[in-house]
A and B are shown apart, each in its own frame.
Chain A
Amino acid sequence: MSLPPDYSNEISALNREILKAQPVDTLQFCANFFLRRLESQRAEFLLSQQHQHSSPRGRGMAESTFPGSNPFSTSPGLATGGMHRLEEEEESDSIGSPTASSFPPSAMDKAQSSTPGEGTFGNFAGFSAPAKGKSTAPPAIGAADAQSFPSNYNLNRRTSVSAESLNPASSANDNWTPPYHPKSPEQQSRLKAAVASNFLFTHLDDEQSAQVLGALQEKPIPTKDIKVIQQGDVGDYFYIVENGSFDIYVNKSGKLEPGPEGLGSKVGSVGPGGSFGELALMYNAPRAATVVSTERSTLWALDRVTFRRILMDSAFQRRRMYEGFLEEVPLLASLTPYERSKIADALETKKYPAGTKIINEGDVGESFYILEAGAAEVYKRGVDKPVNRYKKGDYFGELALLNDAPRAASVVSTTEVKVATLGKDGFQRLLGPVEGIMRRNDPSKMAAHEDGDAVDPLAKST
């Protein structure tokens, strides 16, 4: 008769442990081993028990809500086993509860408002269809508790998302330029207002913003009852309403169904200045609603690849430009390409109008500057004329990275300028003290990089 498999497993696990630990006191070791096994199995058992108790359907791992609803509640029965009791944050802060924006009611309110820029909605919940039903479940902990954490967190496995692969190397070669569709100044300003509150657009700089608005393409909707987007379809475009109006429908099944009831129920409408489908600017998630025209209308459309490519190209060019500038700075000549790219990433862009004193002779220097666009002049006390002129790609103030010596001259912008700047603290946070970086310098290499107005920083620091 053979031994039970459970027994053999335990014994072979024990054998492995014995081999690994080579204990002196074998009996005690074995006793400890079994005690640990018992403890761990029991902990596991308790966990599953507790879970089954608190979840009506038993296999609650797949449930979409916390059994007790608010994970920050302190119901005493739950603070056992491997768990850790956490109490609700006491101090009251002004952040609105994320629960407050749970989809249907608020999205409806928003969509019904016709204030430009406010009528936006995403693809609604981009999660799997069943996830949507639960938003109607009332939070168990008083809704008046404005600072409670989302009580309806989706506890299912989360699906990974991805967009089309974007490769800057190829775009640098094929000279891609974003499509450009001319617009009147009024249209421009309406479009700007329509996206003003959308976080995907608020971070854009002027140039990116102009490219994105230029790429918006007019899309006439000739009549009512046209389905611009269909729930469940793959989303590629984001839309802004120029004129006309649209109704928004959600079918509980997660997708548009055939037949008269197929649209599902109406959850809102959207008019001029409103927008919809912005999740399509991130990746191709299924549309969470169907949008139908109620009259002859006009839309502006933007597709994801164009949008993300505009962002990528400008980021890519900016990074390469900064890396190029940094290569010219003798003080930083010994940075590895990896370090240079980190510094380039950390450079902050600032704009100054003409006539701004960017650094002031005699001040303690804290930051280093690269002139990205525009021109500037260098003045020294007691000299009438500028002692030097800076153009695109020139840098100044780099000794501030090295020491606290006062600025040796003032730099004043002669046009509007754009500078890329990095503080000494920022540099040290990333790479440590500049002295350390310079010490690995080959002195002969330093000499080769030296040019007119640069001081050999090594000579100075010693």
Chain B
Amino acid sequence: MATAIHKILHPHSSHSKGERDSSVQDDHEASHDRQDSDMEQRAREDEKRGLMQWEDRKAPLSPGQIDADPDRKMVGHSSSVLRQEDFELVKTLGTGTFARVWLVRLSEPQNNDDRDKVFALKILRKVDVIRLKQVEHVRNERNVLAAVAGHPFITTMVASFQDHDSLYMLLDYCPGGEVFSYLRRARRFNEPTSQFYAAEIVLILEFLHEREGVAYRDLKPENILIDAEGHLKLVDFGFAKKVENRETYTLCGTPEYLAPEVIRNTGHGTAVDWWAFGILVYEFLVGQPPFWDQNPMKIYEQIVEGRVRFPSAMSPEARDLISGLCTVDTSKRLGNIKGGAAAVKEHPWFRNIDWEALYHRKVKGPIIPHLRGPADTRNFDEYEPESANREPYTREMSEKWDECFKDF
């Protein structure tokens, strides 16, 4: 089955990388005044059929399948034939400083079934990416998403593509919305709810760190979505980076969730995610993160000092877990010490978790979003329409920068 889909998705997989790049180039030069060749048209239709097949089944891959070369995997490849015009932009799901995520469906569905199939399309404008000095982060994002596509709890990048002035990542749509929204509505989660979500996050971090050598670097409730079945999907890999065994130095993250070593710039690695995970569990149980102030510098001062105060009603196990994770000294931080993620999984706070069943999505989530259909967007907030005045991506810029985007 997998190979059959692979063939549909990769009609060009026998071509060399160089040939593919040059065809992308041609595409840019003359996309408006040239009819697609028959072959390309056919390839596009094949590609779209492949997308529909994935959307239909959405079966997570096994770790071994995920590790396959992105160009030989059912999802996560760079497509030379897809274009923005292939999709109808239905509604904005979220915005960032240089990206906008849209709910999309195929603009010319072949049948009624396909009309119901939707995706999230993340559009990044090259001009903004360059102006905000995020080129490296965007490349990291695409490459990490390609490498991890198919994981049960990470947003699946089905394909990526680009045109003259934008970069596109086609992602699976998570109709449940952000854990952030549920948490703010509920103010705080009870222990079983927190344990369930925390446990799925542990599986994500275990996979990213120990299998992929990737530090995620922006864990927070805003970046965790709930899918139609009530399971989590981690999104926004803008700061994710393959670090392997080398430390890295660029400061990034979200103020309340930054680890002390990031603030002090002494070099950081995957251990920052375990720190942030401790903050996350605290925020689940308490409703707000442990370090906070109006003045961000005061937050950082508290973080570097690292004294977490717990409400008295918090269970001793939860306190012990959070204390272990939010340890300033990385050589004593749970998750980073001997055993890695396994040591976190063995913590008494997780004693009720069946890790194997959890990975296979056999454990029922505490919140199953109530939806009218797969394209229901009630769990997403409304966003301002896109501003009309856009800085153009000039030919000079394209000559200077397009090389950096060639993986898209």
Binding site for B on A (CB under 8 A): 5-6, 9, 36-37, 40-41, 43-44, 47-48, 51, 61-62, 66, 71-72, 78, 81-91, 93, 95, 98, 101-103, 107, 121-127, 131-132, 135, 149-150, 152-155, 157-168, 199-200, 203, 278-279, 282-283, 285, 308, 311-312, 315-316, 319, 336-338, 341-342, 345-346, 426, 428-432
Contact = CB atoms under 8 A, between A and B. Distances in A.
A122 B296 contact: yes
Nearest to A9: B373
B264 interface: yes
Given A126-B296, A430-B337, A89 B371 contact: no
Contact of B367 (A43, A123, A203, A431): A43
B35 interface: no
A429 B307 CA distance: 21
Contacts of B134: 162
B100 interface: no
Contact of B381 (A61, A89, A311): A61
A199 B304 contact: yes
A164 B250 contact: yes
Contacts of B263: 282
A98 B367 contact: no
Interface in B279-326: 285-288, 291-298, 300-302, 304-305, 307, 309-314
B40 to A, nearest CB: 36
A338 to B, nearest CB: 4
Contacts of A81: 186
Contacts of B293: 98, 101-102, 150
Contacts of A341: 245-247
Interface string B222-260: 100000001000000011000011110111111110000
Contact of B255 (A86, A126, A312, A432): A126
Interface stretch (B20-28, B80-88, B177-185, B390-398): B177-185
Nearest to A337: B245
Nearest to A278: B297
Interface stretch (B71-79, B165-173, B187-195): B187-195
Nearest to B314: A86
Nearest to B376: A9
B285 A86 contact: yes
Nearest to A121: B295
B404 to A, nearest CB: 13
Contact of B295 (A82, A122, A200): A122
Contact of A164 (B133, B181, B266, B370): B133
A312 B267 contact: yes
Contact of B252 (A40, A95, A162): A162
Nearest to A429: B337
Contact of B300 (A71, A149, A153, A282): A282
A125 B295 contact: yes
A316 to B, nearest CB: 7
B285 A124 contact: no
Contacts of B11: none
Given A83-B190, A165-B136, A285 B296 contact: yes
A203 B331 CA distance: 18
B73 to A, nearest CB: 24
Nearest to A283: B251
Interface of B: 96-97, 133-134, 136-137, 180-182, 184-191, 193, 218, 220, 222, 230, 238-239, 244-247, 249-256, 263-267, 285-288, 291-298, 300-302, 304-305, 307, 309-314, 330-332, 336-338, 364, 366-373, 381
A84 B189 contact: yes
Contact of B309 (A95, A124, A162): A95
A61 B188 contact: no
A71 B295 contact: no
25 contacts: A9-B371, A82-B366, A84-B190, A86-B285, A125-B294, A150-B292, A157-B180, A158-B255, A160-B254, A161-B254, A162-B252, A165-B250, A167-B249, A168-B249, A199-B305, A203-B304, A279-B297, A283-B251, A312-B265, A315-B266, A336-B245, A341-B245, A345-B330, A430-B331, A432-B338
Contact of B186 (A47, A103, A337, A431): A47
Contacts of B181: 61
A366 B253 CA distance: 38
B133 A199 contact: no
A421 to B, nearest CB: 12
B294 A135 contact: yes
Nearest to B299: A98
Contacts of A62: 381
Nearest to A132: B294
Contacts of B294: 101-103, 124-125, 131-132, 135, 152
Contacts of A282: 251, 263, 296-297, 300
Contacts of A342: 331, 336
Contacts of A123: 296-297
A432 B267 CA distance: 24
B249 A166 contact: yes
A316 B252 contact: no
A203 B303 CA distance: 13
Nearest to B370: A41
Given A82-B186, A82-B193, A95-B307, A5 B249 contact: no
CB-CB nearest 8 A-B residue pairs: A122-B297, A346-B331, A338-B245, A162-B252, A84-B190, A311-B265, A163-B251, A86-B313
